[in-house]
Amino acid sequence: QPVLTQSSSASASLGSSVKLTCTLSSGHSSYIIAWHQQQPGKAPRYLMKLEGSGSYNKGSGVPDRFSGSSSGADRYLTISNLQSDDEADYYCETWDRNKRHWVFGGGTKVTVL
């Protein structure tokens, strides 16, 4: 079963950039993932699907400031020109094709300084 590992927190200054990492467990480096944003007190929101090639597809209305990339088992979410609105929890998610279950990472809390 794939396991998704995320750092618990990250911080960066208003207007700067932050790069979040989601690492797939051994044997699952080819899996696609999705990134989701959850602002305080709100439901999650789909940001993008990200493939091992680095190709990504964003959801409707997701700003250009959000981009994705990949390297081996690592999947990245980069937020440029950080805004106060970007302060949120960010979760990665994948599908276990063997057990046919969904798996979520533990989430990264982003603080905008």
Interface ranges with other proteins (CB under 8 A): 31-34, 36, 43-46, 49, 51, 57, 59, 89, 91, 93-95, 97, 99-107
Whether residue 12 contacts residue 18, with contact meaning beta carbons closer than 8 Å, is answered with: yes
Place of tokens 């950080």: 82
State which residue, 51 or 74, has the beta carbon closest to other proteins: 51
Q: Least distance to other proteins from the beta carbon of 15, Å? A: 29
State which residue, 10 or 95, has the beta carbon closest to other proteins: 95
Q: Least distance to other proteins from the beta carbon of 79, Å? A: 19
Q: Least distance to other proteins from the beta carbon of 42, Å? A: 8
Q: Could you give the 3-state DSSP secondary structure of residue 73?
A: coil
Phi-psi label, residue 107: left if phi above 0, alpha if psi -120 to 50, beta otherwise: left
To 5 degrees, how large is the angle CA 51–CA 90–CA 88? 150
